[in-house]
Structure 1
């Protein structure tokens, strides 16, 4: 069964690398249609109920350094399952969820409605996303492999780095060992790696990698 899942992942990645041969605008349009199609039914990947996903969320939060985070960004928030956990874990923070699928964001809005104006949900692509804010804590999980081409992975890594406030923390979560390829541009950039934990206990090993921006001479103020 594990071998079948790995083969499925390989075919999945190959399809998205092929898709990335399109221009960035065409790729973005097709990805929006793809994810809107998947989200025609609620929670298509069972993120709200699957034991593996819940364990991954817990492992991710466990790696976040202690501190006060005023502004948090989740890239690829989907229907807001993890967004809701962030709202609960950081009750004083403003939490922004970013996703390419408006259908997914509509369900995310229902899930995090209890937080009121502490949450913002935006339909946007990480490759083109701009913000007047810098964030104290940024999460990007199960997202980078959809970008395909090396140049787009490099651009997304630069974007994630640029979105951090001085001293801000970036948390990347992706399948292992593929995470070594997906994280390499962040790893080679100006951020300092704080930790990396590889969890191989489930059917699909994953890496939780934490980086921190310099407190001075960084990308800008919050």
Structure 2
């Protein structure tokens, strides 16, 4: 059962999502810039749980060559560096809404990720072509708030996939069932792998979807 601070946390983001998409993005930018006033506020680079989650995520990715990869919500670039090592031939775009986080991500990935572009962007208003054959979205969707914004964010995630592309989504379990439902209901997407890691105090789900060319949405 969710604890009171977590319930209040989610309620805050639902309230923020009553703003226009641009207004919501501005509040979230300020919020995450504030969090990143100190380096690595969530200990993504040092916490054993986070390392386990990154390894579990990479372990679910279908083995194939990927040309273009998108990481949504890259924060300070810890997972971005792992992606660059795992897929050295791919061009990687890593986006985050926080300018401060991206400055540290550039320092962290400098040299080790020469084929990586770090871009300040908001998932809800993200505009890019349908040309990524691998997309990651982890610990991000609960920030978009109410259902219509969740639907919009989910459409952005599936909309940037190239035909046959793969989408990997990682969120707390069982909340992931709610957060992933619009992708689950997309007729052009099918879930090809799913694993719930429920042995830790913070269970999480890794779900992998594939876009099917020509399928009806």
TM-score range, shorter chain: over 0.9
Q: Are 1:13 and 2:21 an aligned pair?
A: no
DSSP 3-state at the match of 1:165: strand
Report the Cα offset of residue 111 of structure 1. Answer: 1.0
- Does the CA contact (< 8 Å) of 2:92 and 2:115 recur in 1? yes
Report the Cα offset of residue 8 of structure 1. Answer: 2.5
Instruction: Choose the corresponding residue for 1:91, options 79, 84, 88.
Output: 88
Q: Are 1:176 and 2:178 an aligned pair?
A: no
- Does the CA contact (< 8 Å) of 1:20 and 1:148 recur in 2? yes
- Does the CA contact (< 8 Å) of 1:165 and 1:218 recur in 2? no
Matching of residues 41-120 of structure 1 within 5 Å: 41-115=38-112, 117-120=114-117
Aligned residues: 215
Residues 79/166 of structure 1: CA separation in 2 closer, same or farther (3 Å cut): same
Report the Cα offset of residue 195 of structure 1. Answer: 1.1
Q: Segments of 4+ in structure 1 off by > 6 A? A: none
Return the alpha-carbon distance in structure 2 between the equivalents of residues 120 and 179 of structure 1: 28
Normalised to the residue count of structure 1, the TM-score between the two structures is 0.93
Normalised to the residue count of structure 2, the TM-score between the two structures is 0.95
Report the Cα offset of residue 115 of structure 1. Answer: 3.5
Q: Give unmatched runs, 5+ long, in structure 1.
A: none
Instruction: Choose the corresponding residue for 1:131, options 128, 131, 134.
Output: 128
DSSP 3-state at the match of 1:168: strand
DSSP 3-state at the match of 1:115: coil
RMSD: 1.5
DSSP 3-state at the match of 2:209: strand
Instruction: Choose the corresponding residue for 2:148, options 129, 148, 151.
Output: 151
Deviation track 1:53-111 (CA, whole Å, cap 9, x = no partner) reads 11100110110011001110000000000000000011111111010001100000111
DSSP 3-state at the match of 2:22: helix
Q: Are 1:24 and 2:42 an aligned pair?
A: no
